[in-house]
Amino acid sequence: MRGSVVCVMLVVCGSVLAQDVPPYTEDCRSGTYPPSGPTFKGKVQWYTVNLDQPPYERWQKLISDKKAPLNELIQHIKNLAKAIFPNLIDIVDNKLPFLIGKLPSPFGEEMKGVADAAGLPLGEIMLFNIFYEVFSVCTSVVAQDTSGKLFHARNLDFGLFLGWDVKNNSWIVSELLKPLVVNVNFQRNNKTAFMSTSFAGYIGMLTGMKPGVLTLTMNERFSLDGGYIGILEWILGKRHGVWMGFLTRSVLENATSYDEAKDLLSKTEMLAPAYFILGGNKPGQACVITRSRTSSINFWELDTQKGEWYVLETNYDHWKPPLVIDNRRDPAMKCMKTKGQKSISFTTIYDVLSTKPVLNKLTTYTAMMSISENKFEAYLRDCPHPCMPW
Ligand SMILES: *[C@@H]1O[C@H](CO)[C@@H](O)[C@H](O)[C@H]1NC(C)=O
Ligand SMILES: *[C@@H]1O[C@H](CO)[C@@H](O)[C@H](O)[C@H]1NC(C)=O
Ligand SMILES: *[C@@H]1O[C@H](CO)[C@@H](O)[C@H](O)[C@H]1NC(C)=O
């Protein structure tokens, strides 16, 4: 699978980069917030999911609203998968559903509820959920201003390698995903338990805030011992690890402090490697946890005494250089430096995340979270031509 993926990437490089140069990159933007103009595609809609309802029922309303775009995306993923592995869909439709009982509560029941509400086979909803375990690339940052307030923000980039639309100059999956982006307010006892920006149909969490307690984002970490192997092992019966999206969901739902979250995110065995970017509710509480499948291999925490007033992660180990053709880290850091610690806020962080190539053709949304100001905002993004393809 990796082989064919690399192959697709080379084809894309050859045909797309040529027409996209220049400019890939631009100077650090300013004045982009509040969002407007061609890179802003709209506010993300809010939904409520009531955790007091049985897991099977809680996604009903949201999924019935998003049924059409969800069907469209899954059809597209199936067509892609069929082109690479002709037998895959047969396995997905006929074999995967038998494994639903192996998923811990509440996830199996939730997936059943989503599948029925969407009118789709259970195996396809499982495949859709597996997808996020392996295909998201992103930029996440947590910064502390001079008064000690933390701001946590991210761009969610998704859809690389999954088909380029020559006519629209866009990644097909990235475009199909935008109508599925939702903000979810998860409630317990009629009160907000946590909030998340998510994709309708996905029950794990990539971006979330537990008001008063913590903020969390996850970025994909590519590795040879990567997601595919873990998932394959899981399907074949070796089930030590947990799905990444379930771990982040459990942390947001049930962890009660930054330290507890840090511990769970560092030590829980997973199916795929990952970067967890975690923020707490006190000055100094922000870190990037670099994970292998079994454990934390690097822990990087904010250190304002040493002048490290933010942590920033894309999809490469922070102590190593990023891939030359995908360097979003340096432009983002340069822009953070230009803005400076004194002026850090939603306004300036949105500028950083609107600067190409931090903003790129894969970017589906930008989310910004602040515990101290109790704010959670998410915006749909576009990156009209000319714009770097990833
Ligand atoms: C791509 O462009 C075609 C027309 O050129 C349009 O019908 C279609 O909706 C576009 N697709 C996306 C995903 O933007
Ligand atoms: C939540 O609010 C609704 C309507 O106000 C009420 O009927 C319900 O009993 C409440 N549920 C809980 C768990 O408090
Ligand atoms: C959170 O804890 C409750 C109560 O123990 C449990 O029922 C629920 O399944 C947990 N949620 C997740 C996502 O693990």
- Give the pLDDT confidence of 216-259 residue by residue, as tens digits: 999 988 776 666 778 778 888 888 888 999 999 999 999 999 99
Angle (CA) 308-310-314 rounded to 5° is 120
What does the pLDDT read at residue 4? 26
Which three-class secondary structure state does DSSP give residue 21? coil
- Give the pLDDT confidence of 81-127 residue by residue, as tens digits: 777 777 877 888 888 899 999 999 999 999 999 999 999 999 999 98
Give the Cα separation of 160 and 357 in Å (integer).
14
For residue 8, is pLDDT > 50?
no
Which of ligand 3's atoms lies nearest the C-alpha of 246?
A: 13
Q: Tokens 């031509």 appear where?
A: 385
Instruction: Please tell me the residue having the least CA distance from ligand 1 atom 13.
Output: 175
Q: Residues with beta carbon inside 6 Å of ligand 3?
A: 105-106, 249-250, 253-254
What does the pLDDT read at residue 161? 56
For residue 2, is pLDDT > 90?
no
Question: For the residues 134-146, what does the mean pLDDT come to?
Answer: 80
From the candidates 13, 28, 138, 335, which is the catalytic residue?
A: 138
The backbone torsions φ and ψ at residue 297, rounded to the nearest 5 degrees and listed phi first, read: -105, -10
- Does residue 35 have a cis bond before it (omega within 30 degrees)? no
Q: 171 near 160, Cβ under 8 Å?
A: yes
Give the Cα separation of 255 and 265 in Å (integer).
10
Give the distance (Å) from ligand 1 centre to CA of residue 164: 12
CA distances from 162 to 159, 175, 259, 270 (A): 5, 11, 37, 24
- Give the pLDDT confidence of 48-92 residue by residue, as tens digits: 999 999 999 999 999 999 999 999 999 988 887 777 777 877 888
Q: 316 near 329, Cβ under 8 Å?
A: yes
DSSP per-residue codes, 261-289: HHHHHHHS-BSS-EEEEEE-SSTT-EEEE
Q: Tokens 């074999």 appear where?
A: 95
Phi-psi category of 328—alpha, beta or left, where left has phi over 0 and alpha has psi -120 to 50? alpha
- Say whether 13 is catalytic: no
CA distances from 11 to 1, 17, 21, 126, 159 (A): 16, 10, 16, 30, 16
Mutate-to-test residue for ligand 2 from 48, 51, 53, 190, highest number of ligand atoms within 8 A of CB: 190
Instruction: Please tell me the residue having the least CA distance from ligand 2 atom 14.
Output: 189
